Chain A
């Protein structure tokens, strides 16, 4: 049986549940991208939050919290085969428990760790390679990351820029995190502040204020001045700031 889910994490976990309690899965695919074939039965799975929660807990308890984090990161990756990688990994995990992550070179474990590293690397990169501009009403940042990392960077900025209002826009996926900046003194940690994920197909007005232009100009000047000519090394620079990230970086626009 091939299970088709709606693209949500809970949907994916519901499929995992069906694999154990209904019929073994031959594969899990996202409904949207599925091409039916004559030979295999398929079934569209209704996302069931209760079942998803049960699977979530089971992974945490019977395998490990790390395993749960691993599959969440893989789910957020842009790998086309991620659902089946997750299925294989979990099947092994439910068999041998927390030791699953010690089998680093196992064909069902290795790809999971590799994708997890890729996603984590991009999260780390974007914590630095993200630029806000002050529109006068809120801070606005735009990015086009390889993986769906919006939800993984939101907490960081919600804490760091707790007193601001901001939007981080994922142009590729037409999604955004909106943080309303209502600073509440009763709450101790900014991490508890609310941000939410929303569809964001629209365009934000690209014009910038005089003041914004001033700061951008100073930043560009700084960026240029801090480099030492006799150590010029654009290849090294490219390793750290791959070209695809540059179009959203103020300092690379001239």
Chain B
């Protein structure tokens, strides 16, 4: 099979993996090709609006597993292909020097056994890092169940690793991916966490300690393939950040690729809005000092689709508002809909020399349309209607159809 066809098959097989970030580690070129930037660089955006930063490929799509949600499941009758280590390394280098990509995202179907596959991945990494002296970004997927020593070897050669947990609960995972189990996945995450800590601590004392997964680990969950609630998803997400120190938890709206009685019908549209709301909640967890319990609880187990989670929280907590922007702490400012880490930072900075007035809010990057109902500036409430959660909710809803008043 020629390289064109292989690329076609193995890109198509990899595209449902979400992670594409190339951030988290800065490294100058030490005499080969490539470097990395902590802020990450996107190189282009595909027709679905997703960024392309890394060359995202499967080493092979020949899988022994039969996960119900996956295109590459064993029982699917699709063309199978594998790259040789050299083909993949050449592709990476040639794309990289033309500045098409920031690096490689390497994943693989479980071919023969987890160890066999992980070993193949390590061979590609060796070739790229040692023979080709490639110093760009590499993200490697951990093959669940692979031997810890192989995972460790890969971690010494790449920048980021990820173990996909796929489903937020053991029950759903069992149902959809019978050969996988959360405890096995968690033990790989734990191994990565411990080794990352160990190498970081050693590097502080000994300069020549090699770095291990310097950009940290991430994971991914499929949204909408199982009946799990947003409550379950966000609690799992928070636990992953707390317990394993993950850099990111990605969500992927399930795109039906298989006909299966356990799954949504093949005609179901991917739940993109739900995915969007989950990402907004994820941002609240990571950058806005929110706890999962504040975003969803037993009474509100699903996120509202019509309002973003922060506005929804604010409307449930009228006692917190309106907030005087010239006195509120940075953390309090972050709770205001329409104010983010950047605008909150600007407000705090300007306050040191001059009080912030209503007219200046927009210049500071605040989305005033939303923020106006939740703040006062120098004691003045700028909202165009009184602070009443029900009334504010009505104006915040997307294009709420204006009901004509009935005469009778």
Binding site for B on A (CB under 8 A): 99, 102-105, 110, 124, 127-134, 139, 141, 156-157, 159-164, 183, 185, 189-191, 215, 217-219, 221-223, 225-237, 239-241, 249-251
Contact = CB atoms under 8 A, between A and B. Distances in A.
17 contacts: A104-B350, A105-B363, A110-B363, A124-B41, A128-B42, A128-B44, A130-B99, A131-B98, A139-B97, A160-B34, A223-B44, A226-B50, A227-B47, A227-B48, A228-B255, A230-B255, A230-B270
A131 B99 CA distance: 6
Contacts of B391: none
A102 B350 contact: yes
A233 B353 contact: no
Residue with the highest number of chain A CB atoms closer than 10 Å, among B31, B33, B97, B100: B100
A103 B41 contact: no
Interface of B: 3-4, 7-8, 11-12, 14-16, 28-29, 31-35, 37, 39, 41-53, 55-56, 91, 94-95, 97-100, 102, 136, 253, 255, 269-270, 272, 346, 349-350, 352-354, 356, 360, 363-364
Contacts of B349: 102, 104
4 tightest Cβ-Cβ pairs between the two chains A and B: A236-B49, A227-B46, A231-B48, A225-B11
Nearest to B133: A163
Given A189-B28, A189-B29, A227-B50, 12 more contacts: A102-B350, A103-B353, A132-B97, A139-B97, A160-B29, A160-B33, A162-B31, A218-B3, A222-B55, A237-B48, A241-B44, A241-B45
Given A132-B98, A133-B98, A160-B29, A218 B4 contact: yes
A219 B100 contact: yes
A93 to B, nearest CB: 13
Nearest to B46: A227
Nearest to A193: B29
Nearest to A228: B48
B41 A128 contact: yes
Contacts of B136: 160
Contacts of B46: 223, 226-227, 237
B44 A251 contact: yes
Given A160-B29, A161-B33, A190-B29, A226 B95 contact: no
B29 A159 contact: yes
Given A162-B29, A241-B44, A141 B99 contact: yes
| Most chain B CB neighbours (cut-off 10 Å) among A163, A217, A226 | A226
Contacts of A240: 42, 45, 49, 51
A129 B44 contact: yes
Nearest to A161: B97
Q: Chain B interface secondary structure, helix, strand, loop or mixed?
A: loop
A134 B12 contact: no
* Dominant SS among interface residues on chain A: helix
A103 to B, nearest CB: 6
Nearest to A188: B30
Contact of B7 (A105, A222, A235): A222
A168 B53 CA distance: 21
Nearest to B352: A102
A221 to B, nearest CB: 6
Nearest to B346: A104
Contacts of A235: 49
A156 B37 CA distance: 10
A227 B16 CA distance: 9
B37 to A, nearest CB: 8
Contacts of A161: 33, 97
B35 A159 contact: yes
Contact of B16 (A191, A228, A249): A228
Nearest to A101: B349
Given A218-B7, A231-B50, A231-B270, A159 B45 contact: no
Given A190-B29, A251-B44, A103 B354 contact: yes
A234 B48 CA distance: 6
A250 B100 CA distance: 9
A163 B91 CA distance: 18
B11 A159 contact: no
B29 A218 contact: no
Contacts of A239: 49
A160 B31 CA distance: 10
Contacts of B94: 215
A109 to B, nearest CB: 10
B91 A160 contact: no
A231 B49 contact: yes
B52 A219 contact: no
A230 B269 contact: yes
A236 B346 CA distance: 28
A223 B52 contact: yes
Nearest to B365: A104
Contacts of A157: 99
A130 B41 CA distance: 11
A167 B329 CA distance: 49
A131 B272 contact: no
Nearest to A231: B48
A163 B33 contact: yes
B343 to A, nearest CB: 10
Contacts of A241: 44-45
Nearest to B3: A218
A213 B14 CA distance: 24
Nearest to A183: B31
Contacts of A141: 99
Nearest to B100: A219
B360 to A, nearest CB: 4
A251 B3 CA distance: 18
A103 B350 contact: yes
B95 A215 contact: yes
B353 A237 contact: no
A236 B46 CA distance: 10
A225 B8 contact: yes
Contacts of B39: 124
